[in-house]
A and B are shown apart, each in its own frame.
Chain A
Amino acid sequence: MGEIEIELRVNEAVTRSTVPPRLTLADFLRERCGLTGTHLGCEHGVCGACTVLLDGDAVRSCLVFAVQADGHDVTTIEGLDGPDGSLSPVQQAFRDHHGLQCGFCTPGFVVTAEAFLRDNPDPTDDQIREAVSGNLCRCTGYQGILAALRAAADAVET
């Protein structure tokens, strides 16, 4: 199994590596880059815990091979807070509205929400529900997550 050389930008840093073709982007980020905020809840594309931004689009990194990210731009949960560790407005809204409990699903929801609110700054409640319906949370019953997205959207608007 030949290894393949890749070069991509991860949270704005140029990263070069040699990877087996079957290595998933999720495992590449977790194991090669040490970015363990990207979580694996199913490894078959349903739970959304592994969501990252690939050239700005929310994708499931368990379904993408690292080699497919060659030449592209990846943003993980670790790339969303401020350089001083301050929370992004979406992260802060999750904190304000008890949008997380165990925190395992949280990076996936936050990354999904960042992309959604960027593209839909003025969403309806139904659009918010729809936007996160591809992410599973077993702890919160989604109540705080939906409240957080609403608040984050309203904050952007005003």
Chain B
Amino acid sequence: MTPATAGLDGAAGRYTGSRVHRVEDPRLLRGRGTFVDDVVRPRMLHACFVRSPFARARLGAVDATEALALPGVHAVFTAADLNPGVHEAWYTSMGKDVPDTPRPPLAEGEARFVGDPVALVVASDRYVAEDAVELVDVDYDPLPALVDYHDGPQADALVHERYAGNVAGSLGAPCPDDLAAVFASAAHDVSVTIHQQAYAPVPLETRGIIVEWSGEELTVWAATQAPHEVRMFLARLLGVAEHQVRVIMRDTGGAFGQKVLPMREDMCVALAARLLPAPVKWIEDRRENLMAAGMSRHEHGDLRMGFDGDGRVVGAYIDHTQDVGAYPTPWPVGTAAAVGMLFPGPYRVPRAGFRTTSVFSNTSGRTAYRGPWQFESVAREVLLDIAARRMGIDPAEVRRRNLLRRDELPCTNPNGMPYSDISPAETFEQALAMLDYDAFRRQQAEAREHGRHLGVGTCTYVEPTTTGMAYYGTEGATIRIEPTGTVNVYVSGGSTGNSLETAVVQLTADALGVDLADVRTVQGDTAVTPFGAGTGGSRSGSMLAGAVAETAGVLRERIVAIAAHLLEASPDDIELGESRAQVRGTPAAAVPLAKIADVAYFAPAKLPDGVPAGLEASGRHHARNPMIWANATHVCTCEVDVTTGAVRLLRYIVSEDCGPMINPSVVEGQIAGGTVQGIGGALFEHLAYDEDGNPLTTTFMDYLLPTATEVPAIEYGHVETPGPGPGGFKGVGEGGAIGAPPAVVNAVADALAPFGVEITRLPLTPATIVELIEGAR
């Protein structure tokens, strides 16, 4: 259970590292947050999409006569109205030179999945817009669809005509002969194919955007992780200058990758706003979200791993294929390489290789989701347990023999990933000790004698966080110490529950030696905040710490200089704390920050020589490392009812190394949230389609999210290895969702081991489990 947050609010002291109360909480708890749907603009219109009911269909005429006749309907836009308005449609993180996949605002010529936006209705209110959608008559000519990406390369149907075999792209190479020879001569040559089902981020707040065009300025309110990318993307889309676009977000109701980039609907609303006399709002409903906001995780891997007679890995290869749906966001081929590159994981693997292939299908497009490459862990960790059982060695023992030890680091894995500052062997041992692994094995043996089936599973992974590359490589902060001595800190924002406001306030209070209550932060308004790439890639903790340190350092120096001057002391003797400056060891010789600010703004003549008026500064951190590594071990125990197939999770332990923590409550909250999403992916969630490409899970009755009755209490262990970046902080937002699915799968497989069952397909629904047991009997 989460320990209670200490009541540190307003107290002086060192905040970084403590469980301070979140600054976001009071407004959110009182229902006074500002989510995009809470924003109302004068004369605002409401948009609703007409979406294809067919997985694939030739689009004929769109007859909007009846819809337009409905009182309150302002416009019905088709592809012919909106699509020609596109200037450019590429994402900053990818650049414009990648061989990008198609991204038309509205479907043109052909609809390519159920939910493909075909027309956009704009009306005076949402109810009328929905009525009008029903009245738009679209002439669809259904075509044979490619629903299952496994069939892609052989299918007659092409999702996009110019992609032969439905392949969006491929990287890596088939298993080289010398690696195949390593496998062939290994004491144990283990091959297995593992399949993961489609599931999705499913933030509780759906997507949404409001766009207002004044004739020369575009103002956008959005549910987003990255307001500055929304600005850059929309500026390019419409062919206007970046500074003509202002994007504002305050509260965003979860995102997990789904709101990291503007998607086709956002393009449509922005293009439509240019043609409308008033602002226009689009709020996605849940059905649309589950049908058209994207899919993740749908992939499989043909895996091969060789072991010597002692269970030591001699080589590893993954041939990975992923479903990218009809319209992936962003270009999916490059990001998939991470699956191959990370497949060796935190183990001593002398030889490895990979290939990854992205295949289109007539389904919802692939999007980013918390640890987009997590299949590397699912594949490797499930394989390791299968291999352990085949070799007759305990799965924990196999890992112990192969995990990288501290004295072997830093090192580069055979696929080129340069590991450093990690502690996989330590988190593994800590997590097993927290469980008391041996005691659990005894308990399990006893339970088996009584016909009860308990199991334990683990997953240990390494995770690249805080990429230093290009678009992600810098982060800015502006700090204004106002004339009264209160502090405002401005950073790009994009907080979607990950507590960026609290983190920045903690960091700034410490950096300036001021009380937490004296600091406020302004985020998520591109007109006033410095550029930053927002929430994504587990980057915010480290990057914001760097930005705050860079900027606060300048102000600190200035405060010290002014204080020394006023107190007639040497700057070397000045210390800052509790919102004042004092001469070290002489509390009586002190001056409050308020007084220093007053002088800085209103009495510049009293400033020491060379110190500028005012107390405002901007600074920008630039990441010096290509990435900062984090690692963790998940351990899960469960009981499986072999009659009903129901899985009950008993204990769930996460031992992680994210370096020092800015706020342990926030860190544990991120771990818990990610873990429960991963549990959902292992046991419940499935974005399913029927054979004709109709989505089967477009409500929360069908798409099953974990609820409070299914989740175990999560126990946390921390190992602290400082990373190479600011404060030693590492990223921690994504890991939970990476480690949980394999740990849960392995626990279930362990429980079912006496049946000789091998699990290679997700999710583990009760029906699947019963089927597996029956198949093995």
Contacts and interface: CB of A to CB of B under 8 A. Distances in A.
Interface of A: 20, 22-23, 27, 30, 35-44, 46-47, 49, 76-78, 80-81, 85, 87, 91, 94-98, 100-107, 110, 129-130, 132-147, 150-151
A141 B711 contact: yes
A147 B252 contact: no
Contacts of A141: 669, 672-677, 706, 711, 714, 736
**6 closest Cβ pairs, A-B complex:** A37-B31, A104-B253, A103-B28, A102-B497, A141-B676, A101-B497
A145 B669 CA distance: 11
B205 A100 contact: no
Nearest to A149: B708
B701 A143 contact: no
Contacts of A35: 31
B714 A143 contact: yes
11 contacts: A36-B38, A87-B29, A94-B29, A100-B28, A102-B254, A103-B27, A103-B497, A135-B707, A138-B202, A138-B677, A143-B713
Interface string B112-130: 0000000000000011000
Given A104-B204, A105-B204, A134-B707, 8 more contacts: A85-B26, A95-B25, A96-B4, A98-B669, A102-B28, A105-B253, A135-B708, A142-B711
A142 B708 contact: yes
A43 B285 contact: yes
Given A22-B127, A136-B707, A138-B677, A44 B699 contact: yes
B308 to A, nearest CB: 39
B256 interface: yes
B498 interface: yes
Prevailing SS type, chain B contact patch: loop
A13 to B, nearest CB: 15
B669 A102 contact: no
B22 A78 contact: no
Contacts of A76: 31
A77 B204 CA distance: 18
Given A103-B253, A129-B708, A44 B286 contact: yes
A27 B37 CA distance: 11
Contact of B33 (A37, A41, A98): A37
B5 interface: yes
B25 A138 contact: no
Nearest to B499: A101
Interface size range of chain B in the complex:
35 or more
Contacts of B29: 81, 87, 91, 94-95, 100, 103, 106, 110
Interface string B247-285: 000011110100000000000000000000000000001
B43 to A, nearest CB: 15
Contacts of A87: 26, 29-30
Nearest to A126: B709
B187 to A, nearest CB: 41
A136 B37 contact: no
Interface string B30-47: 111111011000000000
A43 B256 CA distance: 21
B205 A104 contact: yes
Given A129-B709, A139-B254, A144-B2, A41 B204 contact: yes
A16 B202 CA distance: 37
Nearest to B701: A46
B134 to A, nearest CB: 14
Interface string B711-740: 101100000000000000000000010000
A36 B32 CA distance: 7
B81 interface: no
B668 interface: yes
Interface string B636-677: 000000000000000000000000000001101100111111
Contacts of B32: 37, 78
Contact of B204 (A85, A94, A138, A145): A138
B1 interface: yes
A98 B5 contact: yes
Nearest to B664: A98
A91 B28 CA distance: 10
Nearest to A24: B127
A11 to B, nearest CB: 10
Contact of A39 (B24, B26, B253): B253
A135 B202 CA distance: 15
A36 B497 contact: no
B5 A96 contact: yes
A142 B254 CA distance: 14
- With a 10 A CB-CB cut-off, give which of A96, A100, A102, A142 has the most chain B CB atoms: A102
B175 interface: no
A20 to B, nearest CB: 8
